[in-house]
Each structure stands twice: as C-alpha cells, then as structure tokens.
Structure 1
C-alpha cells in the first residue's frame, strides 16, 4: 500500500510539472529578438545611373506576435515589428556609400499547423500573407551632395510569407520559441530630384530568424 501511494504521489507530481497542451481557444503571446536579412535582387537605378544599384542592410529588432488556436493543431499568428534599413550604393554608386535609409513595417498573418501541441517540444509550419509599409524614407547627405535635393519613396508591398518554428515548453504557461520566416517583399524605390525621376526595383525577400520567450493564456 505504501509503495502504491508513493508511486501515485510521484505520478501526480510528474503530471503537475508536465506542460499543459496547447488547445483550441488558447492564445500564445511571444516576444522575439529577430534578424531581418534581405536576400535582395535589385535592378539598376534607371535611367540616370546605369550600372548603379543599392544593397539593403540587415536589421536586428524586437518582434511581438500573437497566435490564436482555432483547433488543437491549427493556429493563426499575427506578427508585428518594424525595422530600420540603410541603403548602400553599389556598382557605379558605390563611391557614395549610404544613399538612403527607410523604415519597414511588415504586419504578417500566417496560418500554422502545430504538429505536437500536447508535447514539450511543439514544432509548427505556416504560410500566410505579408503587407509591408515603408515610411520615413530619407536620401543620404552623400546622395544629395552628388545629385541635389532628392525625395526618396518606396512603394508598399503585398506578398506570401512562409514560416517554420518550434515552441519548447518550460512549464504549463511559459515557453521558449525559435522561428524562421521567408517573406516575399517586392518594391520600387523612386528618386525625385527636382522633377528628374529615377527608379530601382528591389526584391528584398528577407529571411527573418528569431528567438524569444512566450506565454500561453
């Protein structure tokens, strides 16, 4: 009898310490640190600068996201972040160094499948849509000194987002998260220099890798 009681007590203790499964109606809130690494493909700055283009620099920023479980396995995640990016001249524009900077606000909604919602290790994969809004665009002093006062603007973008990741449960509420996304972001940057217009097509298509902490509600 004593052995049975001891075994029951151990089992109850293990059950209490085990992570509760994520299930329909749950809300996960995560705070990640992310690296936004564009894998960009760009055209020349035309028509004024054939052979000259731009390179979009990486950014490291915080990201907040919310996942709502529609079923025990299917969740919808809204990703919120904003990132600053320097634009470096390349080719015939490389001598100018930085030619501009821009802020990107890319709210992204993905539909995820969670493969092991009841486990300690919970991998998932998702696909969704991204809408990137560019703001606070500025031409650099080096560009302005070279060609004159210039207004820089970037078109907003809508594209597909792909996602893989996993949550590692620490207890019934807290977990560590690892996440990687590939986002299709295509834009056209326009330089307006006293009415003279130059444009450059930029396919940013960043890889966004992050790690963070989350809580289940």
Structure 2
C-alpha cells in the first residue's frame, strides 16, 4: 500500500506541474530504479499426493515482498521503446491455506522476473510529462526453494518450482525535473504460473499447480543517457 500511495502522490504532482524539459528521442537510453513491490494474486490448485487430491481445500498462498527494481529502456523511435525489467532476487514465503492453514509459513523461495516489453510514449518529445504503455513477455526463474517451520518439521524435502513464461502488461510515467533526471512510477501485471513438487520422508510424491499473477508497483527515479 505504501508503494501504491507513493505512486499516486507522484502522479498527482506531475499532473499539476508543467515544464519545458526535453522529452525522449530515438537512440536515448533510460535507466530507471526504485522500490518494487510484488503483490501476487494467488489462485492455488489442490495439493495432490501420488496423483490424488489430499483434500478439496488443500491450497497455498504467497506473501507480498518489496525489493529493489531496475529497468533499462532503449528508444528505437521517438515514441517507441524496448524495456528490460530486472530486480534483485525476490524472496517469498509459501503459506498453507484452507486445510493446510496449520502449516503457516512452511517454505521459502526466491525468484528473478526478467521482463521484456515494447513501450509506447504518446506525448511526443517536447513534453516533460511522459506516460507510457507497454506489453511483452515475462520469464520467471525460481531458485533456492527450501522448507522451513512446519514444512521442515514434517520431513518434506526436494521442493522444486517450475520456471514460468507468460505475458506482461504495464503502465507508467516519467516526469522530467532536470536535464537528465525524472521521477518515475509504474505498474505491471504479469502472468506467472508454476507447478510445485516435493517429497516426504516416505518418498510420497506431492504436486500443486499455482497461478501467482502478481501486480508489481515501482516508484523511483529515471536517468536519461
């Protein structure tokens, strides 16, 4: 909520301001950085054991996480850019839900969400206020999966989450406040689906399908090269 509030405050300030700073042109490189809040909109399937549902309500949830975000945009035309979004590794806790609520925070996983997008800048290069819209592909890499708490106590092991390839969409803006500096805020929606697998001490096979589909909010600064 803090990231959302900051983004709204920056947008409101930018709308009230006007300036003569130069906008973007073909060949420009824009580096953006700031705090990125990843808020999964989780849709969990049921946990299966050896191919059979454990119950009709054995599900998982995933917590929100804030980390440093970074993006690089190359302007191929005055109003068209190509952006690569990156971040420092993002860590999430897996939480039991429904009939698995007793597990609480039972596992941890890290991921990297590189996202390649084509952006459209409608305002032209004479505007200090530069909103943009983007669409592209996200590839999420999961790693460092491990059980903690009740998951570790239960003897679960070999946790693995499949990597994900999906669509992504974004909306954002820059407001130029100096020759090369802007304030920035952006929102992404990412289609991220994964399958988690693991075993227990008796070598039973567990499997669960989860759609994470996060909203990602970032607020920070941009520098124009």
Instruction: Give me the TM-score of the superposition, normalised by structure 2.
Output: 0.86
Decide which moves more: 42-51 or 78-87. Answer: 42-51
Q: Which residue of 2 aligns with 1:155?
A: 162
Count of aligned pairs between the two proteins: 200
For the residue of structure 1 that corresponds to 2:153, the secondary structure is: helix
In 2, distance between residues paired with 1:109 and 1:57? 25
Pick the aligned partner of 1:118 from 105, 126, 147. Answer: 126
In 2, distance between residues paired with 1:172 and 1:101? 43
Q: Which residue of 2 aligns with 1:30?
A: 32
Segments of 5+ residues of structure 2 without an aligned counterpart are: 1-18
Q: Which residue of 2 aligns with 1:128?
A: 136
Rg larger in 1 or in 2?
1
Q: How does 1:173-188 map to 2 (within 5 A)?
A: 173-188=180-195
Structure 2 residue 94 is the aligned partner of structure 1 residue 92 = no
Structure 2 residue 146 is the aligned partner of structure 1 residue 141 = no
Cα-to-partner distance string for 1:22-57 (whole Å, 9 max, x where unaligned): 100000001121110000100011136322111010
Q: Which residue of 1 aligns with 2:12?
A: none
Q: Which residue of 2 aligns with 1:49?
A: 54
Q: Structure 1 residue 144: deviation in Å?
A: 2.6
Segments of 5+ residues of structure 1 without an aligned counterpart are: 1-16
Contact map agreement 2:20 2:126 (CA 8 A) in 1? no
Decide which moves more: 113-122 or 166-175. Answer: 113-122
For the residue of structure 1 that corresponds to 2:77, the secondary structure is: coil
Q: Structure 1 residue 198: deviation in Å?
A: 0.7
Runs of 4+ in 1 over 3 A off after TM superposition: none
In 2, distance between residues paired with 1:187 and 1:149? 19
Pick the aligned partner of 1:170 from 162, 172, 177. Answer: 177
Instruction: Give me the TM-score of the superposition, normalised by structure 1.
Output: 0.89
- Superposition CA RMSD, Å: 1.3
Q: Structure 1 residue 158: deviation in Å?
A: 0.1
In 1, distance between residues paired with 2:149 and 2:36? 29
Q: Which residue of 2 aligns with 1:18?
A: 20
In 2, distance between residues paired with 1:125 and 1:95? 42
